[in-house]
Amino acid sequence: MTRVACTACPLRCLPAFVPMSEEEVAFMERFKVGELRVDRGTTILMEGSSSPQLFTVLSGMGLRYKTLENGRRQVVNLVLPGDFLGLQAGLLGDMKHSVEATTAMVLCVFSRADLWQMFRAQPERAYDLTWIAAVEEHFLGETLATLGQRDATERVAWALHRIHARLVALGLKRAGAVPLPFRQQDLADALGLSLVHTNKTLKRLAQRQLAKWSGGALRIPDPDALAALAMVEPGAPEPRPLM
C-alpha cells in the first residue's frame, strides 16, 4: 500500500485535533520514516522493552496495559487513531506498559533518535509533545478518581461516555453508532470490575436506554443523560495535538 503523506493525513482535518501549520506538517513529513501495518493481536510495544521507534496511530485500535507478577492485567486505556505511542521508552529508556493491537492497525513510524531534533528545531511541536504527556497524566488522575469514588454503574457510564465522545470527534460515528471492537473483559480490566459485574452493569444501562454495546458497536441515544450518570460535563473532548 502507498505511504500516506503528512500533507494528506486523513486525521488532520478532524475536530479531535488541533490544526497544524504548513511548517509543522513539513517537519512531520521529514520526521516520519515510514509506516507499519500490524495484525490484530500483535504486541506493538512490550513492557520493559526499549524500542528504537515511536508511533502515531493512523488507523485501527488497541490497548495499553500492565501485567502484574501474578499474571493479572490492568488495562491503562484504549489506543485510538491519533494516539502517540512509545514516548515512555523515548524519555525513560524502556516501556512501563505494553501496547497490543485489538484490530488491524496502520502506524506512522518515527525514529526515537530524532526526537531531540524536534526539541531543538521545532519548539512548538515539542510543546505539543509535552501537552500530550500532561493530558495522559490528567486522564490517569481521572481514572484513579473513577476507580476510587465511582460505583460500578458510574464507572461504566464514565468509560463509555469518554470513549464515545472521542470516537465521535474522530469522525467514526455511522448510523448512530461508533465502532468499539473490544471485549467486555477489556472494559472490566480497565475499571477494576469482574467480568460478571461488568456484564450486568452493561445490561442495566441498555435497559435504561442509556448505552448499548453489542456486535462491536456502541450506541448512546442521549450522551448528556449518560454524562449526568457518570458525573462528568457533557460535550466534545478538547482538541489535542496530532504528532
What gap in Å lies between CA 147 and CA 227, rounded to an integer?
17
- Given this model, what pLDDT does residue 122 score? 86
Question: Which strand (E) or helix (H) includes residue 22?
Answer: helix 22-31
| Cβ contacts of 121 within 8 Å, gap of 6 or more | 27
The full set of domains in the chain, from first to last, is 6-123 (2.60.120.10), 149-230 (1.10.10.10)
More confident residue, 179 or 119: 179
The crossing angle, in degrees rounded to 10, of helices 184-191 and 152-169 is 120
- Given this model, what pLDDT does residue 89 score? 52
Query: Could you report the per-residue pLDDT of 12-41, keeping only the tens digit for each?
Result: 999 999 999 999 999 999 999 999 999 999
Query: Could you report the per-residue pLDDT of 205-235, keeping only the tens digit for each?
Result: 999 999 999 999 999 999 999 999 999 988 8
Q: Which amino acid is at 174?
A: R
